[in-house]
Structure 1
Amino acid sequence: MHKRPLVLPTLTLLTLSITSHFALADRNKGKVPIVTPECSDIAVCKQQGIFTNPFEEPLVTGEFPDQNNTNITNPLNNYPDNGKCEENEDGVLKCKPAAGSLALLNDGRILYFNALEGTENVEYNALLEIGSAIINDQTRVLTMKNDNASWIAPSPVDAGANPDGNDSETIIGDITGFLGTSLPLDLNTDDDRTNNDGALFCADLVGLPNGELMAVGGTDYYHEPGVNTSLLGEPINFGLSELEGLKNSRIFNPEDNSWRKTGDMNFGRWYPSALSLANGNVLVASGVTKLVKPVYLTRPETSGRNVTVTETYDTSCGEWTDNGPLAERSLPLYPRLHLLPNGHVFYNGGGQAFNPFGQSYDQALWNIVAAYDPQSKTWADLGFAGLPLHLSEAGISDLASFLNVTNTQADESLSGLLTGLTEEFISNPFDALAPIIDDPYRLADVQALLGAGFRGSTFSMMLPLTPDENGTYSKAEFLTAGGVLTGVAATSPGLYLGTNLARIDSVTIEGEKMLYDSRSTGSLQQGRWYGTGVLLPTGEVLVVSGADRDEVVLPGSGKPILKAEIFNPETETFEQVAEQNRPRTYHNSAALLPDGSVLIGGHAPINTAYAYSVTLPGFSPNDGRDPSFEIYKPSYMFGDRPAIGKRNKTVAVGERFAVGLKNTDAATAAMNANIESVVLIRRTNITHLIDGDQRSVILPIVRKTDRRVVVQMPTQQAVVPPGDYMLFVNARNENGELVPSASKAITVTGELSAMCQ
């Protein structure tokens, strides 16, 4: 039985049977209003924006009693309730999902799924109970229309992986008896249950060219070792919990709201990063197969570290391929990866790690930023994160590959390293040191030095890609802000308190060369761990949610940050804006919506101090997850805006197309006359602060009139990988401020590549 009152009491069936039809028509459809508070001071709203009131699914899991034997329309097949959880007759809580991960679909709906589902049922100690308490995560699809929100449950609701159990990678099989007698002690309990073998928690999300979404990896929960027996009729199931990464990949089809399995990866991955390549295929990197005890008896050389093998998914046949030994790299969990304009994949020196104890014996290599070439299937080291050093120019771009202990072609990496040193650095060391020689004071920048190196629990935001005068995209910039800094020791993944330091890293492409650079920017107004960044159509970056310290080190000990901030790309400074309503620390999420507002959700913390869920006075709310959402309306939504009329629904790479302008009134027409830029923004697929496909692309304007703007699509497919985007136009208002239109959905097509034979 559940012994602690962790949530509000829920309605009983008896209560339901005598309740009047309290908004029953809407509530049976899962519909609730989205309420924007009245703006008491329009000047403040125009400066800081405003948050709507929180809104959440008005249902919890449980069959709706059909009192009159009539068919009641209810998409979730549940009964109305305003609490967060329902307790069944066995004392088990079933709770509404929080948006730990979410994706914006092409029709404007939101797919999201839960994180750590079932932690509310831990009674004493999460470390000893989650192997049996946690279950597969629920998914939902949220529709927001005409200031109302409604929900449906996809099928299957938990995405359907491993219904017959996962092929868990346990260290040793069960202990089978002593002197012919069965023992209650098992070396693992991986086969005891099948409703926790395919959790979506800690998978990554990526958009496919056809508009579908793929979830890569996930979690299999069990105890290793554990006790699974009954004493005095009461079941006992506890032990040292293990979280194992899944090999599974699952695809969500927005047309019928269904999940299906696709090809399995070669390695189980928990916290992997996935992103779309220029040809529409998907790269996956990192993740860990066993989180708590990363010991693999069949391949001992891979023990004690994350998965170094990278794999590529062929969208034409649904199969994964190992990219080979030179494509291996030691990376943090959820490494911050981005697709560069030349088609290479950039690692930006950020990710997730478990502070202050460490995650991998070779994690000092995480400080080195690098780029992966999908054609040659090799990595090139570019620099030390946050410092103005050109490792590629120094001839040591193979350093990390050579130091990879599982690299079966280390001799080839050594050869490249020696060749680079002798032919490049020794012959012309000034190229490698050019940033320092040009400005030697950069190494005396204390802020840059403190903020250098691997950064944990921070976002890495690709800033808008801008063409040069020839229409070529040759430079990419990335904003990193907040998180936790690297510890004093090179092998320490990070400190405890959130930092306010921020920097912009850049990669400039010059033919075959890629030059890395970094500079400090203005700092956040508050140190912030686990803040989510959202790129706005104007090029500004909204930062929301998070806490003042690492909530994984000691869950429930942080203080939530409610004040949102916006980064101004022109001044490179942060400014505080409106305050969100709900604290959202661990497993928060956010996404840019088609109208230019931002959806904010999530908050699924680990049990307090790894014990049970309770809120400590004055600290982060830790008595369970928060299933609510709220919407931030930026300042540009409180005034006149430009408007898009007709446009192509599909455009190809390299195509020229017209964007119609909708002059509904004089004010809109005046804004349309001042169009300054046309922007494509990839639809959000976010989990744990990362969205590998995140990008904003400024399109060159060929000509414009008061009724339409003609723009040129990039000829570089890596700038706009095939998939679903939002099209915005930006105009200057009378105050010189950049104001975006609401967007129109647009799909980019390109040449897809098939590896399968």
Structure 2
Amino acid sequence: MKTLIVPTLILCLSIAILSEGQPLPFQMQLDRWEMLLPSIGISAMHMQLLHNGMVIMFDRTDFGISNISLPGGMCRFDPSDTAIKFDCSAHSVLYDVVSNTYRALKVQTDTWCSSGSVLPNGTLVQTGGYNDGERAARMFTPCGFSETCDWIEFPQYLAQRRWYATNQILPDGRIIVVGGRRQFNFEIFPRPDYHRYKGARFEFLRETSDASNENNLYPFLHLLPDGNLFVFANTRSIVFDYKTNRIVKEFPEIPGGDPRNYPSSGSSVLFPLDETNNILELEIMVCGGAPKEAFQRAYRNRGFERATSTCGRLKLTDPNPSWEMETMPLPRVMGDMLLLPTGNVIIVNGAEAGTAGWENARDPVTRPVIYHPFDHRFSVMSMSSRPRMYHSSAVLLPDGRVLIGGSNPHVYYNFTNVEYPTELSLEAYSPPYLSFTYDTTRPKILTSDKVLSYTRMFNVNISIPQFLTIDLLSVRIVAPSFTTHSLAMNQRLVILKLLSVTRDGLTNTYRINALGPSTAEIAPPGYYMMFVVHAGIPSSGAWVQIE
């Protein structure tokens, strides 16, 4: 009798909760952690999912010798390296999600605290870093796992030093690179074709810096549907017209007075852009961080301040926008915020006390939370066994899992005699929507158009064992992020307009006609993961390219 009751209860839950991640009794949690690899040889400080389903990861070249060798006896010689000048170990790897294997890549210049974006053709452009990498641009074009594609570097390409800068892909396929330590300016990649290009001044970054030129590093950038940028630095935020170098609008400061950017290291998302509504709403959310004195106190061994537990929501389309504050179940600094296919937000990694920087944090937060924007609700999820502190990262995968790696709170690779050893492992977190409980309502993409055009119809064929109603069906595209230092650059989710849904005879297959995004400002050209979501449960993603 007991074996019959449990499936019945699960079935009721499956039908009743159409929003994943509901808080359930602990013994009934539907999420799951999975250890993928105990070591990839490096600490995954930076991550980017590529359109061939592989993830490129790297840390920095001046860590010392990593735990993976460069292939074929290759070595790098760098006379300016501060750790080791002749190094035959790798500091970048290419990870194949499907086979759960990886291979070493060779990066020459120092990538510490750098930034990145993916061009419309799928090539990763990676900018800046430290020391000999501060003006470097690097490119990686995806190839098959067994092939030999590798980094191509341009050591002095950038107009200014870019250490702790932020990138954003633009509607025309170019990339804007904003800020960096003591850099109150921005520049465009590829750089304009004229002599001595120096970029453009951006006084807002000077105004938001403190005495140590910090707390406005890695500014939060979001491309808005009017083509302007939302920029958040320290406690202030603006709409910025980069074409005319003009502030279009300034918003009230986020309440509380605590900075949210590096090294206070909160995080930020732009909520999904819903093209099914007649009026497009724009809302930003900023979560976590550390009090303004936290960095100096930790740096001078005077203790670890409790991290910020507040989030602020700002609806940019309101006539008079103001911050709406909410409280997370757990305080968190150095947390990663990622948009899930459902439109909910996962916040993972980080610490409850201290700030970013070497040895500057304590009390790791090993439970992610999932935030439900529609009903303003947080759900505390299951615990990981691995602390993910400074220099951890996370990205969304096409199968709906979240890939998590990194954590190096020390100057070098340090595995012993420290409270939080350097972490070389990779984990995957499966949100509740991946539970077998939802298999009956889970859509599966059978075929779809591979190339989408603006305002043009495209087709998706799906199967669903138990179709409920068309009102619970949607097609969404998600831009994969370049994630580092609690910032998921370029991430974006767009809900596309459905034109029709027709059933194929008496089968459980359906044909969806949908409309491509309306403008390049809504969805810049490039590769996206396309998900079909039914009753709050997403399919696996299929790659599409917007041209």
TM-score, reference length from structure 2: 0.79
Cα pair distance change 1:319/1:517, threshold 3 Å: farther
The answer on whether the counterparts of 1:116 and 1:604 sit within 8 Å (CA) in structure 2 is: no
CA distance in 2, matches of 1:552, 1:679: 34
Q: Paired residue for 2:451? A: 650
Q: Paired residue for 1:10? A: none
Which residue identity is paired with 1:724? Answer: Y
Cα pair distance change 1:565/1:379, threshold 3 Å: same
Q: Paired residue for 2:473? A: 676
Which residue identity is paired with 2:524? Answer: P
Provide the secondary structure at the position in 2 that maps to 1:508. coil
Shift of 1:385: 2.7
Q: Paired residue for 1:258? A: 150
The answer on whether the counterparts of 1:537 and 1:596 sit within 8 Å (CA) in structure 2 is: yes
What does residue range 271-286 of structure 1 map to in structure 2 within 5 Å?
271-286=164-179
Provide the secondary structure at the position in 1 that maps to 2:375. coil
In the alignment, is residue 587 of structure 1 matched against residue 388 of structure 2? no
The answer on whether the counterparts of 1:451 and 1:502 sit within 8 Å (CA) in structure 2 is: no
The answer on whether the counterparts of 1:282 and 1:315 sit within 8 Å (CA) in structure 2 is: no
In terms of Rg, which structure is larger? Answer: 1
Cα pair distance change 1:451/1:316, threshold 3 Å: closer
The answer on whether the counterparts of 1:563 and 1:579 sit within 8 Å (CA) in structure 2 is: yes
CA distance in 1, matches of 2:324, 2:518: 30
Instruction: Select 1:118's aligned residue among 53, 63, 78.
Output: 63
CA deviation profile, 1:160-203 (whole Å, cap 9, x unmatched) = 3xxxxxxxxxxxxxxxxxxxxxxxxxxxxxxxxxxxxx211111
CA distance in 2, matches of 1:320, 1:560: 46
What does residue range 525-544 of structure 1 map to in structure 2 within 5 Å?
525-544=329-348
In the alignment, is residue 704 of structure 1 matched against residue 513 of structure 2? no
Which residue identity is paired with 1:506? Answer: K
Q: Paired residue for 2:223? A: 339
In the alignment, is residue 727 of structure 1 matched against residue 530 of structure 2? yes
Provide the secondary structure at the position in 1 that maps to 2:433. helix
Which residue identity is paired with 2:35? Answer: N
What does residue range 559-570 of structure 1 map to in structure 2 within 5 Å?
559-570=363-374
Cα pair distance change 1:468/1:650, threshold 3 Å: closer
Cα pair distance change 1:143/1:245, threshold 3 Å: closer
Shift of 1:368: 2.6
Shift of 1:116: 6.7
The answer on whether the counterparts of 1:119 and 1:130 sit within 8 Å (CA) in structure 2 is: no
Q: Paired residue for 1:363? A: none
CA distance in 2, matches of 1:317, 1:257: 28
Shift of 1:464: 0.7
The answer on whether the counterparts of 1:607 and 1:613 sit within 8 Å (CA) in structure 2 is: no
CA distance in 2, matches of 1:260, 1:500: 41
Which residue identity is paired with 1:151? Answer: Y
Q: Which has the higher strand share?
A: 2
Which residue identity is paired with 1:479? Answer: M
Which residue identity is paired with 1:374? Answer: Y
What does residue range 571-650 of structure 1 map to in structure 2 within 5 Å?
571-607=375-411, 615-616=417-418, 619=419, 621-622=420-421, 625-638=422-435, 639-640=438-439, 641-650=442-451
CA distance in 1, matches of 2:114, 2:196: 16
In the alignment, is residue 714 of structure 1 matched against residue 523 of structure 2? no
What does residue range 17-36 of structure 1 map to in structure 2 within 5 Å?
none
Shift of 1:570: 2.3
Q: Paired residue for 1:296? A: none
CA deviation profile, 1:131-187 (whole Å, cap 9, x unmatched) = 345979711000122xx4111123xx11x3xxxxxxxxxxxxxxxxxxxxxxxxxxx
Which residue identity is paired with 1:450? Answer: G
What does residue range 196-345 of structure 1 map to in structure 2 within 5 Å?
198-220=109-131, 246-255=134-143, 256-262=148-154, 264-288=157-181, 306-314=182-190, 321-325=197-201, 329-330=205-206, 332-345=216-229
CA distance in 1, matches of 2:57, 2:247: 33
In the alignment, is residue 52 of structure 1 matched against residue 3 of structure 2? no
What does residue range 413-492 of structure 1 map to in structure 2 within 5 Å?
449-450=255-256, 454=260, 456-467=264-275, 469-470=277-278, 473=280, 475-486=281-292
CA deviation profile, 1:6-38 (whole Å, cap 9, x unmatched) = xxxxxxxxxxxxxxxxxxxxxxxxxxxxxxxxx
CA distance in 1, matches of 2:318, 2:516: 19
Provide the secondary structure at the position in 2 that maps to 1:52. strand
CA distance in 2, matches of 1:509, 1:525: 27
What does residue range 117-196 of structure 1 map to in structure 2 within 5 Å?
117-118=62-63, 131-132=82-83, 138-145=91-98, 148-154=99-105, 157-158=106-107, 160=108
In the alignment, is residue 687 of structure 1 matched against residue 484 of structure 2? yes
Provide the secondary structure at the position in 1 that maps to 2:488. coil
Shift of 1:120: 7.8
Cα pair distance change 1:462/1:260, threshold 3 Å: same
What does residue range 476-555 of structure 1 map to in structure 2 within 5 Å?
476-486=282-292, 496-508=305-317, 516-521=321-326, 523-552=327-356, 555=359
CA distance in 2, matches of 1:46, 1:672: 27
Provide the secondary structure at the position in 1 that maps to 2:37. coil
CA deviation profile, 1:113-135 (whole Å, cap 9, x unmatched) = 024752689xxxxxxx9934597
CA distance in 2, matches of 1:483, 1:600: 20
Provide the secondary structure at the position in 2 that maps to 1:563. coil
The answer on whether the counterparts of 2:265 and 2:355 sit within 8 Å (CA) in structure 1 is: no
The answer on whether the counterparts of 2:475 and 2:498 sit within 8 Å (CA) in structure 1 is: yes
The answer on whether the counterparts of 1:461 and 1:535 sit within 8 Å (CA) in structure 2 is: yes
Which residue identity is paired with 2:110? Answer: A
RMSD: 3.3
Provide the secondary structure at the position in 1 that maps to 2:227. coil
Instruction: Extract unaligned runs of 5+ from structure 2.
Output: 1-23, 67-79, 209-215, 504-509
Provide the secondary structure at the position in 2 that maps to 1:537. coil
Shift of 1:381: 4.3
CA deviation profile, 1:17-70 (whole Å, cap 9, x unmatched) = xxxxxxxxxxxxxxxxxxxxxxxxx98686440101241347xxxxxxxxxxxx
Shift of 1:326: 6.3
CA distance in 2, matches of 1:552, 1:658: 46
CA distance in 2, matches of 1:217, 1:740: 36
The answer on whether the counterparts of 1:728 and 1:742 sit within 8 Å (CA) in structure 2 is: yes
The answer on whether the counterparts of 1:276 and 1:282 sit within 8 Å (CA) in structure 2 is: yes
Q: Paired residue for 1:298? A: none
Cα pair distance change 1:645/1:308, threshold 3 Å: same
The answer on whether the counterparts of 2:162 and 2:180 sit within 8 Å (CA) in structure 1 is: yes
Cα pair distance change 1:138/1:688, threshold 3 Å: same
Provide the secondary structure at the position in 1 that maps to 2:282. strand
Which residue identity is paired with 1:568? Answer: H
Shift of 1:598: 0.8
Cα pair distance change 1:43/1:701, threshold 3 Å: farther
The answer on whether the counterparts of 1:463 and 1:478 sit within 8 Å (CA) in structure 2 is: yes
Shift of 1:321: 4.6
In the alignment, is residue 369 of structure 1 matched against residue 215 of structure 2? no
Shift of 1:322: 4.0
Instruction: Extract unaligned runs of 5+ from structure 1.
Output: 1-41, 59-95, 122-128, 161-197, 221-243, 289-305, 350-365, 387-448, 733-737, 750-757
The answer on whether the counterparts of 1:312 and 1:320 sit within 8 Å (CA) in structure 2 is: no
Cα pair distance change 1:369/1:604, threshold 3 Å: same
Equivalent pairs, count: 479
Cα pair distance change 1:710/1:317, threshold 3 Å: farther
Which residue identity is paired with 1:660? Answer: N
CA distance in 1, matches of 2:138, 2:81: 24
Provide the secondary structure at the position in 2 that maps to 1:636. helix
